[in-house]
Amino acid sequence: MSSLIHLSDLHFGPHHRARLDEILLKDIAQLNPDAVIVSGDLTMRARNREFEQARDFLAHIPKPTLTIPGNHDQPILTPLDWLERFTRQYARYEKYIHPTIDSTLAIDGLFVLGLNDNHPALPGGFWTRAQRVWLEDQLARAPRGAVKVIATHHQLVWNGWRPAGFWRAERALEFLAARGVELVLNGHTHVPRAAQTRGGIVVARAGTATSGRTRHGNANSYNYVKIDEQEISIFLRSYDERADAFVAARAFTFPRRAGMP
């Protein structure tokens, strides 16, 4: 059995609930996952000090970790920020978080690819042609029998129009299914959800783990993912104010589809 903790939308900066950082780290230690995936929006305004705080938090995770940037991880506030946004879009992310934007994580039984899907001007998620070529090449190199997992920021199951999700999501999911991907992890909306596509891919969206900008009555939350030979299970863990802890809230279990390429 393999397990993951899926965090998203940490949003270090304004509205960040620092108290939850310590609780999250204790949960990670207790649940002892094989890896931790962070699907974007580590910061609120992409300020250097926010990236420093995110870096310090990640440094305390004692597990293999894969991160990707989100739309909030692009500079935005000043004219100089906008210049950097269109010339060196992820210079701060690369300095503080990870030297590459798209990345891979291969551990026993799991092969995870993280893809940036943000654009400096357009809302919603996109992958470039070059990224698709890279993605296809990497998936072909996955160890035999490993569960193929994709992490990206914008939601591939929209459930409405705002905030904007991944464009042409159905086509992207068909592309992934044809290449044996079984699990997609994303964030962005601050609303947790899990579903399985007709192609057999489980799409799990995490809420915001630590931002006070929760939406539609959802508490701060994250996903705990378990994968065995038969099933993929997504356990939503939500913050309970009275217990001052993340507690089991909902569970979604989906069959793994046999015969996928």
| Strands of 231-240's sheet in order across | 65-68, 35-39, 2-7, 221-227, 231-240, 245-255
- Rounded to the nearest angstrom, the gap between the alpha carbon of residue 5 and the centroid of all alpha carbons in its chain is 10
Predicted local confidence at residue 164, as pLDDT: 76
Contacts of 84 (CB under 8 A, 6+ apart): 75, 91
Instruction: For the chain, report the end-to-end CA distance as a whole number of angstroms.
Output: 21
Once rounded to an integer, what is the mean pLDDT over residues 61-70?
A: 96
The single-letter code of the amino acid at 11 is H
Quick one: DSSP state of residue 25?
A: H
- Give per-residue pLDDT as tens, 32-54: 999 999 999 999 999 999 999 99
Kindly state the percentage of the chain with pLDDT values over 90: 80
Predicted local confidence at residue 199, as pLDDT: 92
- Give per-residue pLDDT as tens, 137-184: 999 999 999 999 999 999 998 766 556 788 788 899 999 999 999 999
How many Å apart are CA 250 and CA 80, to the nearest integer?
Answer: 44
Q: Is 140 helix (H, G, I), strand (E, B) or coil?
A: helix
How many Å apart are CA 44 and CA 74, to the nearest integer?
Answer: 9
Once rounded to an integer, what is the mean pLDDT over residues 16-43?
A: 97
Predicted local confidence at residue 261, as pLDDT: 44
How many Å apart are CA 122 and CA 102, to the nearest integer?
Answer: 19
Once rounded to an integer, what is the mean pLDDT over residues 220-235?
A: 97
Once rounded to an integer, what is the mean pLDDT over residues 92-115?
A: 95
Domains of the chain: 2-255 (3.60.21.10)
